[in-house]
Amino acid sequence: MLKTTGRLLAAHWPALLAWFLAGVLVRYLVIELAGFVGAYSAVGGLLLMPLAILARLVGFVAMFLTVRDGMARLGAIAPLPPSASERRRAFVDALLAGVLPFFAFYAAWGYLRDDMAAYSARALEVQTEVNGASELLGGEAVARGAGTIDQLGFEPVTILLIVVAFAGRWAWNRYRDRLPRLLSLVAVYLEAIWVFLTVMLLSQATGWIGEWVASRQGMVWLADLRAWTAEQLVPIAWVWEGVEWLLGELGGVILLPVAWLTIAGVIYGQAVAAEAPQLSVGILDRARHGWGALPSGVRRRLADIGGELVSRFRPIGRAFVLMWRAGPVLIGGYILLATLLVAGERLLGYGITRAIGPHDLKTFWFVADTAILLVVPLVTEPVRIALVSSAYDAVIGRLAATDASAPGAPTAPGSDADAAAASVADGQPEDRRRVGDELEVDDERALGIGREDERSDDVERLGPHERA
């Protein structure tokens, strides 16, 4: 991973830096525009806010796809599209697949909260300026509160926007071959709208549920019991607090790198799929049996209804399957490297502030802090993308090597992951086809049940003589 990371950085560092800067700049401009519009209408402002997050997503997708030509193992399995039109289509597909996991990641790590705070601050600033000018000129002031800035919760207009955006995205996916290519940008925006509004509503609902649970009498009793235990059994309280701290730290250390690798898996995974392990659990077995017992027509209708929503989560599931099959040593090594990168990021920020020295908070840091601290992500984000991409390439290599060593797999010389990588460098199409064929076998195994259902449906539609 270290070798591949260094090679990707050496080959693509200027392009990675340019895409990252473009995403940051467009996000800032969109938040400024959304804050101006949100000062007058919450609906208008919040319809613009997904574009700010999309700007970051476009930047990251472009960064991931920029380094793809240096990922030998991924190139052996899923070569780059040869034509410009196919590459544009792959870029749009990667955007559409990445909207849901990226927005979820964006909200979970507090980036969405920061964007909404910047949006609200800008909107309040506009309202203050407009109201001040209105007082001087005797005009009408902008109303504060309901209907402006971010007052858009569980209301009919919010639900309607989600339904319309989801329906428009579904229609584009169904008729995309008949529609102009330019509408693919509209499809990306519609996907971002319904995901953004849904994430906001889920965040509000989670907050309400948390407040309700915290206000229950049972939670008060538990808090009193914990306080009494801490007073009576001090060593146990120390151990309990230590375990809580350790779990919290481990969660942040492990989940952040895994989230980045999942996003990379969704972006790169449009052409790569691994066979998921079959879980043998009683409730799952009964569910599979019940699904198979349903009439074929009912199964088709239910698949049509749920397929559009489930398709958003399928790439995420495939990314987790790839990580599962890669093994704990490879993923653990990647998490270690990602944690060292985070530590270096914080040390770099600490060093920059100490090198600049003490200055006045209002006249210096409030003005220059963003430009100064932007140096940190300018250094670390290209490294992060290269590291995540190299980790995904290693995961793909482990997948190919595992499949090649499985019983019944081809045992020809050079069937490991390094040979697959060498086949790209040496231009040997035989090894490339062999590795791709192994993954196609995995796909056929994973889709075997579905194909049996299709064949049974075809037999039901045939007449007696045709069946014979």
Q: Tally Cβ neighbours within 10 Å of residue 245.
A: 10
Tell me the DSSP string of 241-295: HHHHHHHHHHHHHHHHHHHHHHHHHHHHTTS---PPPPP--HHHHHHHHHHHHS-
> Which pLDDT score is estimated for 387?
95
**Average pLDDT of the residues in 193-212:** 83
**Average pLDDT of the residues in 240-267:** 82
Token output for 104: 């979820």
Within a domain: residue 456? yes
- At 18-39, the pLDDT tens digits run 999 999 999 999 999 999 998 8
**Average pLDDT of the residues in 389-412:** 68
CA atoms of 187 and 448, how far apart (whole Å): 31
Collapsing DSSP to helix, strand or coil, 357 comes out as coil
Of 148-157, 356-365, 371-380, the poorest mean pLDDT is in: 148-157
The b/e string for 406-438 (b: 16+ C-beta within 10 A; e otherwise) is: eeeeeeeeebbbebbbebbeeebeebbebbbeb
- pLDDT beyond 90 at 336: yes
> Which pLDDT score is estimated for 22?
95
> Which pLDDT score is estimated for 101?
85
Residue 404 near residue 438 (C-beta atoms within 8 A): yes
- pLDDT beyond 90 at 132: no
Of 37-51, 129-143, 414-428, the poorest mean pLDDT is in: 414-428
CA atoms of 341 and 381, how far apart (whole Å): 10
Residue 139 near residue 133 (C-beta atoms within 8 A): yes
pLDDT band, very low/low/confident/very high, at 145 (cuts 50, 70, 90): very low
> Which pLDDT score is estimated for 362?
84
Nearest in space to 356 (alpha carbons), one of 365, 345, 344, 347:
365
Contacts made by residues 116-121, CB under 8 angstroms, sequence distance 24+: 116/49, 116/150, 118/31, 118/35, 119/31, 119/34, 119/35, 119/38, 119/45, 119/49, 119/52, 119/149, 119/150, 120/35, 120/38, 120/149, 120/150, 121/35
214 or 27, greater pLDDT: 27
- pLDDT beyond 50 at 403: yes
Residue 16 near residue 382 (C-beta atoms within 8 A): yes
Within a domain: residue 178? no
Q: Give the DSSP H/E element, type plus range, for residue 23.
A: helix 2-38
Of 216-220, 239-243, 322-326, 400-404, the poorest mean pLDDT is in: 400-404
Within a domain: residue 107? yes
181 conformational bin, left if phi > 0, alpha if psi -120 to 50, beta if neither: alpha
Q: pTM of the entire structure?
A: 0.71
CA atoms of 450 and 75, how far apart (whole Å): 28
- 42: containing domain: 2-152+216-467
- pLDDT beyond 50 at 447: no
The highest-confidence range among 32-46, 133-147, 276-290, by mean pLDDT, is 32-46
CA atoms of 319 and 395, how far apart (whole Å): 10
**Average pLDDT of the residues in 251-258:** 82
Token output for 243: 């375990």
> Which pLDDT score is estimated for 32?
93
- pLDDT beyond 50 at 413: no
> Which pLDDT score is estimated for 53?
92
Within a domain: residue 169? no
pLDDT band, very low/low/confident/very high, at 432 (cuts 50, 70, 90): very low
Tally of domains within the chain: 1
Within a domain: residue 210? no
Of 40-44, 52-56, 101-105, 402-406, the poorest mean pLDDT is in: 402-406
> Which pLDDT score is estimated for 431?
38
Residue 46 near residue 197 (C-beta atoms within 8 A): yes
Within a domain: residue 182? no
Rounded to a whole number, what is the distance in angstroms from the first to the last CA of the chain? Answer: 57
Q: What is the mean pLDDT of the chain?
A: 75
Within a domain: residue 333? yes
378 or 251, greater pLDDT: 378
Residue 169 near residue 187 (C-beta atoms within 8 A): yes
Nearest in space to 272 (alpha carbons), one of 229, 200, 321:
321
CA atoms of 52 and 412, how far apart (whole Å): 50
pLDDT band, very low/low/confident/very high, at 309 (cuts 50, 70, 90): low
Q: Give the DSSP H/E element, type plus range, for residue 347.
A: helix 328-356
Q: What are phi and psi of 449, to 5 degrees?
A: -65, -45
Q: Cα 270 from chain centroid?
A: 14
> Which pLDDT score is estimated for 276?
43
CA atoms of 152 and 162, how far apart (whole Å): 12
**Average pLDDT of the residues in 98-116:** 86
pLDDT band, very low/low/confident/very high, at 301 (cuts 50, 70, 90): low
The residue type at 115: D
Within a domain: residue 186? no
Of 132-136, 194-198, 414-418, the poorest mean pLDDT is in: 414-418
> Which pLDDT score is estimated for 424?
34
CA atoms of 408 and 350, how far apart (whole Å): 55
